[in-house]
Structure formats: structure tokens, C-alpha cells
């Protein structure tokens, strides 16, 4: 149970680089929207125009008077004002007027977040009108949400692949024994794909197009003849300046994904090299669990198994495991 001096948490927030989700005690998930804010640049200070789902169609389409921003980058807070506004929007959209006053909140945060990063998030939450805030380590919440026996005297390994960061942790007896993260996630893969088009093909593609391309690419990579397929990207030629469409073979983009995946594999190997023998044996017997929105990239699980020999398990809703873990902590 999450509580402060006997007061139980009202809501829990999975504040992600790509999406923000809110669960309320007794009500389940009550909010699930993109982690986006749009500000007007007119006046003495920026003014919030929209947040969440309403901002998605605005990405890469705003005039100079408007600016779209993501409050988090690579898993950590980069814009305290945008974070404050997103938290305020998420809570006001989730709670009734009666419960809106200073709700007690649990917020997920990367396990290796610095003290400065934690303090910045607490400040943003306070400025958003939230009550007492408890920061919960995301790998632990993900493991709980995935159904792992986190409170038992046995080792469980979780690999939480989010949009901004990938965290690897070994958990036993209700705590994190070892953890390490790499600022590589779904957003980093988006950037790598955009860079490939930019530098190799001299073709510029936008953020939304890149995200769609990544989803199509991941789907094709999971099929037997995926490498032989073509994938479409709409954008603008950097040489002529003319809008256009390019057809790209999937096998041209596979190395981009492989390079991304191997960074995650290296973190898994590093943690395994540091794991005490008894915990290591538990992990060998059970395998590891892959969660997060990027868990569905087929190359990740395959590469981990190939490099370590461990079985990889993926829950039914890997992208919601942090949220499900936070929900379980609210209910317990």
C-alpha cells in the first residue's frame, strides 16, 4: 500500500516519454494520452494551448507562434513548466471535482534518476497542485504489473523498454538488488531511423511519419519474409526541396534496428555479470521478462536469448506493466 501518515494514495501516474497514464484507486485506468504540450509563445510567458491527445495532430505542423514540446526526454524531465501543465491536465481530466484538491499521488520514475531529477519532478508535481507525492521506481512497478514474484526470496529480472529509456533490474524480497539503464528506447529508435533517411537518402521525414514507419518496420521484421518487403516513407527531399514518397527495402533498415537492440543486450549482459550466484541461478531457471512499449520489437527478445541463452517472456500488455504495477500498489 502507498500511504503517507495513514493517508492512502488517490491516484498513480505513469509519466512516460511517449504517453502518460493515470490509475485511480478503485477505478482502474482513467487517463491515457500522449505526453505532449502545446504553448503559445506570445506574451511575457508561454501560455498552455493544449495538452495530451489534442496536441498529436499539431506535431510538426505549428506556426512560429506555437511550440509543441515533450515534458520528458529519454525518460527524464527536460521541461519543468511542461511537466507541471501535463500533470495538472492529467489529474484534472481524471478526478472528480470533489477529489481534485491536493490528491495524494504516486509517480513512476527511473530507478537510477538522480536526486536533482527527483527533486525537479517533485517541484513540478507540487506546482501542479498535487498533494503528497511518492516516487516509485519504474522497474519494480513493471515487475509487479507483469506478475513476477517480487516479494519472494528469489531473483527476477525485468527489462523495461520504454520510449525514452531501457531499465534492467534484478528484484528480490520486495526490493531492487541491481539496476542499470541506458537512454535508449522507442524514441531513440525513431531518431535513428530519421537520421538514416536524412544522411543516407537525403530525405527528411517528420516525427509522426517516423513513428508510423517504425511500427510498420517492427511488424514486418516479425514475419518470415519481412526483409524482402518494401516500406513507404513520406517526406521532403533535401536536395530538391520537393515533397515526395520513398519506397525503402526492410533489409536496408534492419541494421539500424540491430544497432539499437545491441545497446540493450549489452546492459543485460552487464547486469548478469554483476548478479550474485544464487540470484543468477534463479534467473537462469526462470528467464527474464521484457516489458514496455518497445518490448514488441521482435529483435530484442531474440537477441537477448541468442547472446545470453536466457528465455524471454513478454506479458500480454507489456506497455501497461508499469501502470498495472502502480494500480496493484494502490489497491493493496
CATH number at residue 56: 3.30.420.40
Alpha helix ranges (H) inside 2-110: 80-94
Nearest one of 52, 111, 107, 57 to 82, comparing CA atoms: 52
Do 159 and 271 fall within a single domain? yes
Q: How confident is the model at residue 8 (pLDDT cuts 50, 70, 90)?
A: confident
Q: What are phi and psi of 169, to 5 degrees?
A: -145, 150
Do 124 and 14 fall within a single domain? yes
Which CATH number fits the domain that encloses residue 245? 3.90.640.10
Contact 70, 211 (CB under 8 A): no
Question: How confident is the prediction for the chain on average, in pLDDT?
Answer: 92
Do 73 and 179 fall within a single domain? no
Do 218 and 264 fall within a single domain? no
Domain stop point among 232, 253, 274: 253
Do 157 and 9 fall within a single domain? no
Do 124 and 208 fall within a single domain? no
Domain stop point among 238, 253, 268: 253
Which residues have a Cβ under 8 Å from the Cβ of 193 and sit 6 or more positions away? 210, 213, 214, 217, 253, 256
What is the model's pLDDT at position 297?
86
What is the model's pLDDT at position 41?
82
What is the model's pLDDT at position 2?
59
Q: How confident is the model at residue 100 (pLDDT cuts 50, 70, 90)?
A: low
295 is in an annotated binding site: no
Domains identified in the chain, total number: 3
Grid coordinates representing 108? 513512476
308 is in an annotated binding site: no
Question: What is d(CA 112, CA 314) in angstroms, rounded to the nearest whole number?
Answer: 23
Do 124 and 264 fall within a single domain? no
User: Each residue of 253-270: pLDDT tens digit?
Assistant: 999 999 999 999 999 999
Question: What is d(CA 202, CA 331) in angstroms, rounded to the nearest whole number?
Answer: 52
What is the model's pLDDT at position 6?
53
Do 85 and 22 fall within a single domain? yes
18 is in an annotated binding site: yes
Do 41 and 90 fall within a single domain? yes
pTM: 0.90
What is the CA 287 to chain-centroid distance, rounded? Answer: 22
33 is in an annotated binding site: no
What is the model's pLDDT at position 42?
73
Domain that holds residue 240: 186-253
Which residues are bridge partners to 19 per DSSP?
A: 34
213 is in an annotated binding site: yes
Domain stop point among 253, 278, 307: 253
66 is in an annotated binding site: no
Question: What is the DSSP secondary-structure string of 250-306?
Answer: HHHHHHHHHHHHHHHHHHHHHHHHHS-HHHHHHHHHH-EEEESGGGG-HHHHHHHHH
Do 226 and 116 fall within a single domain? no
Do 157 and 301 fall within a single domain? yes
Higher per-residue pLDDT: 291 or 101: 291
Do 291 and 156 fall within a single domain? yes
238 is in an annotated binding site: no
Amino acid at each position: 500500500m502507498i500511504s503517507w501518515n495513514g493517508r492512502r494514495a488517490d491516484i498513480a501516474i505513469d509519466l512516460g516519454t511517449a504517453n502518460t497514464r493515470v490509475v485511480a484507486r478503485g477505478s482502474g485506468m482513467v487517463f491515457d494520452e500522449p505526453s505532449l504540450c502545446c504553448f503559445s509563445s506570445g506574451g511575457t510567458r508561454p501560455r498552455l494551448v493544449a495538452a495530451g491527445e489534442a496536441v498529436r495532430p499539431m506535431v510538426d505542423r505549428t506556426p512560429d507562434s506555437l511550440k509543441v514540446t515533450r515534458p520528458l526526454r529519454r525518460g527524464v524531465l527536460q521541461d519543468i513548466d511542461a511537466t507541471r501543465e501535463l500533470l495538472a491536465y492529467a489529474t484534472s481530466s481524471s478526478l472528480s471535482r470533489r477529489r481534485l484538491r491536493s490528491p495524494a499521488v504516486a509517480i513512476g520514475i527511473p530507478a537510477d534518476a538522480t536526486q536533482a531529477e527527483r527533486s525537479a519532478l517533485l517541484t513540478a508535481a507540487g506546482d501542479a497542485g498535487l498533494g503528497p507525492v511518492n516516487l516509485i521506481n519504474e522497474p519494480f512497478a513493471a515487475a509487479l504489473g507483469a506478475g513476477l514474484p517480487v516479494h519472494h526470496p528469489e531473483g527476477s529480472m525485468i527489462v523495461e523498454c520504454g520510449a525514452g529509456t531501457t531499465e534492467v533490474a534484478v528484484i528480490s524480497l520486495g526490493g531492487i538488488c541491481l539496476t542499470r539503464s541506458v537512454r535508449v528506447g522507442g524514441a531513440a529508435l525513431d531518431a535513428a531511423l530519421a537520421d538514416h533517411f536524412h544522411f543516407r537518402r537525403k530525405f527528411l521525414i517528420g516525427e509522426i511519419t517516423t513513428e508510423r514507419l517504425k511500427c510498420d518496420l517492427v511488424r514486418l521484421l516479425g514475419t518470415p519474409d519481412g526483409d524482402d518487403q518494401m516500406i513507404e516513407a513520406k517526406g521532403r527531399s533535401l536536395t530538391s526541396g520537393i515533397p515526395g514518397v520513398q519506397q525503402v527495402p526492410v533489409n536496408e533498415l534492419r541494421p539500424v534496428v540491430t544497432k539499437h537492440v545491441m545497446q540493450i543486450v549489452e546492459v543485460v549482459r552487464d547486469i548478469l555479470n554483476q548478479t550474485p550466484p544464487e540470484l543468477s541461478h534463479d534467473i537462469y531457471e526462470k528467464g527474464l521478462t521484457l516489458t514496455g512499449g518497445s518490448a514488441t520489437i521482435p529483435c530484442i527478445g531474440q537477441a537477448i536469448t541468442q547472446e545470453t541463452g536466457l528465455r524471454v517472456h513478454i506479458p500480454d500488455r507489456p506497455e501497461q506493466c508499469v501502470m498495472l504495477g502502480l494500480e496493484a500498489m494502490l489497491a493493496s
